[in-house]
Amino acid sequence: MSGFSIERDIVSYVAIGDSFTEGMSDPYPDSTAVPTGRYRGWADRLAEHMADHIGEVRYANLAVRGKLIRQIVAEQLPRAIELRPDLVTICAGGNDIIRPGSDPDQVAEIFEGAIGRLRETGADVLIFTGFDTGFQPVMRRFRGKIATYNMHLRGIADRYGCQVVDLWSMKIFADRQAWDADRLHLSPEGHRRLALRVAEVLGLPADEDWNAPWPALPPMAWHVARQQDLHWAREFLVPWIGRRLTGRSSGDGIRPKRPNLERLR
């Protein structure tokens, strides 16, 4: 990355993307300070971590669940450019890649256009590869497309001087403890570990190891695993297919949780 430094007195940070960056499945505890039902996620955790080590952090999170890459570029990118932050994190294209008939080459072309516009502002940009889904029975069918997209992302990062968080190589995410029951979004502990990894990539000190071994879980009986598979299909897969068939999105009517750069603490 060309110039991000934790030695700055003031840092402005904007996160854009979909549910991954909004923080789905990592809810804040109910409180009067945070609206009930708002998600925290790795990006909020990262901003909080930055505030522990930098004099002043101003943070905006424009990510909205369910958004496709064209929607992110149309709805979030102009606002991110308008805010002129020092740092932008962007993870986009995942929802496109897992749709039947999508072309990772075309998705990458749109992504590259967005990166070019962000870098023209002088902002440092950090991007994410896709996860290795080989451990998930249903999602592993997209593994080849994700790998192709990841190769494009690495090339884009090289061309534009972006830092990369390589989710594919983070084997801790092959454990079910890293994931929520929907098998699509990280668990709170998964988000916490990812925030530590992003902080590490940015050069921020961290007191804990994101790659620490997971606590051992007892073996799962075959019939219990199948029951969980059936529950997952009924509660999450069928509704997801229903939204695809009807043209609906989980993000319909959802607004960004932090649309403005606001000081933390």
pLDDT single digits (tens) 229-248 = 666 556 665 566 666 556 66
Domain span at 152? 10-210+220-263
For tokens 């593994």, name the residue: 143
User: Is residue 4, in this structure, part of any structural domain at all?
Assistant: no
User: Is residue 134, in this structure, part of any structural domain at all?
Assistant: yes
CATH number at residue 237: 3.40.50.1110
In a structure prediction context, what are the per-residue pLDDT tens digits for the chain, which is 265 residues long?
Answer: 445 666 678 899 999 999 999 999 999 876 444 455 689 999 999 999 999 999 899 999 999 999 999 999 999 999 999 999 999 999 999 999 988 899 999 999 999 999 999 999 999 999 999 999 998 877 888 999 999 999 999 999 999 999 999 999 999 999 989 999 887 899 999 999 999 999 999 999 988 999 999 998 777 666 655 666 666 556 665 566 666 556 666 767 799 999 999 998 7
User: Is residue 215, in this structure, part of any structural domain at all?
Assistant: no
User: Is residue 244, in this structure, part of any structural domain at all?
Assistant: yes
User: Is residue 2, in this structure, part of any structural domain at all?
Assistant: no
CA–CA dist 191, 214 (Å, integer): 14
Tell me 235's DSSP state. Answer: I
User: Is residue 77, in this structure, part of any structural domain at all?
Assistant: yes
User: Is residue 5, in this structure, part of any structural domain at all?
Assistant: no
In sequence order, the β-bridge partners of residue 39 are 27
CA–CA dist 142, 145 (Å, integer): 5
User: Is residue 1, in this structure, part of any structural domain at all?
Assistant: no
**Count of domains forming the chain:** 1
